[in-house]
Amino acid sequence: MTHPELTTLQHDAAAAIATAASVDALEQVRVEWLGRNGKLTGVLRTLKDRPLEERRTFGAEANALRVELEHLLSAKQKQLSAKPALPVDLTIPGITPALGYPHPIRLMLERIENIFHGLGYDVAEGPEVETERYNFDLLNVPKDHPARDMHDTFYLTQRGLLLRTQTSPVQLHYLETHRPPVRVIVPGRVYRHEATDASHEAAFFQCEGLVIDRGIRLTDLLGTFTHLFKSLFGSKVKLRFRPHFYPFTEPSLDVDMSCTICGGKGCPSCGQSGWLEMGGSGMVHPTVLENMKVDPNVFSGFAFGVGVDRLMMLYEGVGDVRRSYSGDLRFLESIHLS
């Protein structure tokens, strides 16, 4: 441009077009410069008042400027109305991270632990890889006793090592670091070489209990068991104690609870008997007390073992123990949300 007036116009108009942020704003810019009362239009109107020699060049340059601005406007118009290459919709809900849930067995153990905490019990753990000595010998299970076969043990290749078949050996470990009076429960995983079905797994959970003090009697055991099951399943449940045999207790009792599914009338879950077997128990055998270096003439005690999987299944209404080890998140979710 040779006319300074037009150069300023060109500069200002180009800047206004470049900074227009929307199609509407751009239209305002167009009206402001090229509209009927626009700035460039106004300048063109002054043409007739200009000296003759100026008119030709000024007129030609002003028209060239008009064409240039129209081009800039239409290019900017295209740019503003084009869709963004990657549309971002900030209103779309985000991806919620999947939540984990505590396993129902873990929840069951916590309920049991809470009940026993209330009775002043300690909670202890023991090794899952055991020696024959702790799993059987010290618990008064003779070498040729069928209980060793009954438990269908997983023996490890190293002689004398096995996967514990019961939590009872922790009784002996605990007494190595604690002296009577003791009250302890031992939740933990145990292993048996068994075919699995709806109520059997090769790995499952037990909770052992042990009380040793002066003057502990069988009625203490009955009261403790009654408190445990009524706390878990409500005051209506009934308990039945049956004589049984365990090498580490004498006398020994198995405890049955009235079936919580049929209320004791008889149904497929309780084999029509109205009763469910919940665990074993008894007064600690004098030989086991001696193995703990506890004098049976001074102290007595009771012990018990309950199946945690079975408790969980009854508590949550789960029909097949294998579901709880399936790793299926829907199972955990259904228990959590029910």
Residue numbers of the site for ligand DAH (CB under 6 A)?
166, 168, 208, 246, 248-249, 280-282, 303-305
Q: At its nearest, how many Å lie between ligand DAH and the CB of residue 253?
A: 8
Comparison of 187 and 264: residue with beta carbon closer to ligand DAH? 187
Q: Which is nearer to ligand DAH, 180 or 280 (CB)?
A: 280
Q: Which is nearer to ligand DAH, 12 or 152 (CB)?
A: 152
DSSP string covering 257-307, please? EE-TTTTTS--GGGTTSSEEEEEEEEEEPHHHHHHTT--TTT-EEEEEEEE
The DSSP output letter for 319 is S
Q: Is 212 helix (H, G, I), strand (E, B) or coil?
A: strand
Report, in Å, the least distance between residue 143 CB and ligand DAH: 18
- Of the two residues 116 and 246, which places its CB atom closer to ligand DAH in the complex? 246
Closest contact distance (angstroms) between CB of 145 and ligand DAH is 13
Distance (Å, whole) CA 129 – CA 125: 12
Min separation Cβ 311 and ligand DAH, Å = 14
Instruction: Report the nearest approach of ligand DAH to the CB of residue 129 (Å).
Output: 17
* Exposure on the CB side of residue 108, measured as CA atoms within 13 A: 26
Residue keyed to tokens 């079975």 = 310
Single out the residue of 305, 322, 325 nearest to residue 103, CA to CA: 325
> Are the CB atoms for 175 and 292 separated by under 8 Å?
yes
For the bound state, the minimum distance from the C-beta of residue 316 to ligand DAH, rounded and expressed in Å, comes to 22
Cβ nearer to ligand DAH, comparing 155 with 245: 245
Q: Is 87 helix (H, G, I), strand (E, B) or coil?
A: coil
Of the two residues 251 and 271, which places its CB atom closer to ligand DAH in the complex? 251
